[in-house]
Amino acid sequence: MEETTTEILERAQQRAKEMSLPYLGALLPAEAYKLFQKAPDAKIIDVRSNAELDWIGRIPGAVEIELRSYPGMQPNSNFLDQLSSHTDKSSTILFICRSGARSGHAATIATQSGFTDCFNILEGFEGEKDEAGHRGTLSGWKVAGLPWIQS
């Protein structure tokens, strides 16, 4: 029996409580993809830099809003305005980045700014580094076999 969106959301919220996160929930990539498919107001917000999107790959249907810009990884001072132009403050927002760190920061910023339904996609697009220091082999969106395209 396939799990419901409510079950996924409850598990993500419990995970966030256990991890003492300042936003509503923490999702594994496969959970995020199921929500993205089933919840009508869910949006994936990919906060990686444009360079990362071009070099590493994109998630079809995701909204791309840089949290930090390459080179130099300077903060995007328009991040919240851009987020507001793509979603409202009560929509389900699923943030993703390369590893889950920046997206956690984005979820925190959005939550502190009044967005009420913010989730971080743990592991990110490429996951943690392997023993050789490479990403994309152990965990993350790509390793989970979820849809992505190379630019």
CATH of the domain at 43: 3.40.250.10
Helix (H, G, I), strand (E, B) or coil at 84: helix
Is residue 138 in some structural domain?
no
Is residue 149 in some structural domain?
no
| Token pair of 31 as six digits | 């959970």
| Token pair of 149 as six digits | 């395209």
> What do you get for the CA distance between the two ends of the chain, in Å?
36
- Tell me how far apart the alpha carbons of residues 117 and 104 are, in angstroms, rounded to a whole number: 13
Is residue 126 in some structural domain?
no
pTM for the model: 0.95
Domain count, the chain: 1
**Residues in contact with 40: Cβ distance below 8 Å, sequence separation at least 6, in sequence order:** none
Question: Residue 72's pLDDT is what?
Answer: 84
Is residue 144 in some structural domain?
no
In angstroms, how far is CA 101 from the centroid of its own chain? 9
Host domain of residue 42: 5-121
HSE-up of residue 139 (Cα within 13 Å, Cβ side): 15
| Spatial contact of 47 and 95, defined as CB atoms under 8 Å apart | yes
Helices (H), the chain: 5-18, 29-38, 50-56, 79-86, 101-112
Q: Which pairing describes strands 43-46 and 63-64: parallel, antiparallel, or unpaired?
A: parallel
Question: Residue 151's pLDDT is what?
Answer: 72
Is residue 97 in some structural domain?
yes
Is residue 131 in some structural domain?
no
Considering all CA atoms of the chain, what is the largest pairwise distance in Å, rounded to the nearest integer?
47
Question: Residue 2's pLDDT is what?
Answer: 78
Is residue 44 in some structural domain?
yes
CA distances 14 to 1, 24, 73, Å, are 21, 9, 32
Question: Residue 10's pLDDT is what?
Answer: 97
Is residue 129 in some structural domain?
no
Q: Mean pLDDT in each 10-residue stretch from start to end of the chain (151 residues)? A: 89 97 98 95 96 95 95 92 96 96 97 98 95 91 96 72
